Structure 1
Amino acid sequence: MKFKMKEVGFSTELEYGELHVAGDEQYGFRPYQLMVSSIAVCSGGVLRTILKKKRMEVEDISLTAEVTRNEKEANRIEKIQIHYVIKGKDLAHDKVEQAVELAKKNCPMVQSVKDSIEVTETFEIVE
């Protein structure tokens, strides 16, 4: 990836389009937003694949990511709490729980930060 400096922040051209990154939200996505998004969405995508492979009928998955940052240490991300809301029929709690654990172990983004950012996951099932 090649980034070009702008008046505020940087930009890069990717297959999907142009990405603007800046410390100020008026000029682009903030770096921590991209990191949290990468971790949460990667984990959700892996979970979706696992549930599908286990032949569990999932209609929808939504997720929220709560972030804990440490202002005393360069405002670093210390913890990301991901909460899934999984909509489907006849979803067994224990099987979904196993899938969530398996997703965490197989998500490249979660594994990339496992020794520096605590990632926890919870879920609820709705019909």
Structure 2
Amino acid sequence: MDPSTEQRIAAVPSLEDIARDPRCLAALERTSLSALLVRTAVVQSALAAQLASVEAHRSVSSAARVDADDQMLRVDEAAAMLRRKPQWIYRNAARLPFVKRISSKSLLCSKNGISHWLATRKA
């Protein structure tokens, strides 16, 4: 590597230097600025992907924990809890967030989901 290239590389500030004092970028040439911008974009993309992965893992493990504590009820049990007839649940299954369709004629209802749904309804 020739001495002028080594000097240019040494003159490129680190991310810490830039965060501490953004004015240090004023002395850089256009090519150095472009290269630095590309490298920071790569770092930013990697950080965003890792953060998304951590958040996805957290929500999956949280959902698994909630599901482990939940109990699935038959339609007649859910109807009793809701003080409705079972036919009401079948008619409204598509808009009830606690209903899981097992087959075209079979439904199960989340006990925790019913409790949450009832808590959010007006009295």
Name whichever structure is richer in helix by fraction: 2
> How does the TM-score come out when normalised to structure 2?
0.26
Name the larger-Rg structure: 2
Q: Give the structure with the larger strand fraction.
A: 1
- TM-score, L = length of structure 1: 0.25
